[in-house]
Amino acid sequence: MSFDYKRMVKFEYNLGAKDKKVRMVSGVVLLAVSLFTAKVLLLLVGLGLVGTSYFGWCPAYSGFGKSTLEPDAEAAIADAATETDSDTDGQ
């Protein structure tokens, strides 16, 4: 397994719906726990999980070329991106 830095900085959606939900719930739990225990590490990890869930992109997944998106979702995102590109080209 190789790690590609160039692929890591290229923003492409790579989190599926289930992965997003798990990350959001676990991130919120870690944020809540960090408030009561005053642990900065828990706060940072919780913020990272909530952030990746919100944006639908994980830099580590990008670097390793992994994606948890379902094939239909990948096609829908690609179609939406091409429609947006064609809309902006005509203006």
Find all residues with CB under 8 Å of 62, minimum gap 6, and list them: 7, 8, 9, 10, 11, 12, 14
- The pTM assigned to this predicted structure is 0.69
The number of domains in the chain is 1
* pLDDT of the chain, 91 residues: tens digit per residue: 566 666 666 677 888 999 999 999 999 999 999 999 999 999 999 999 999 999 988 888 887 888 888 877 666 666 676 776 665 555 5
Token readout for 51 is 């952030």
Structural domain harbouring 67: 5-89
The CA distance from 66 to 9, in Å, is 14
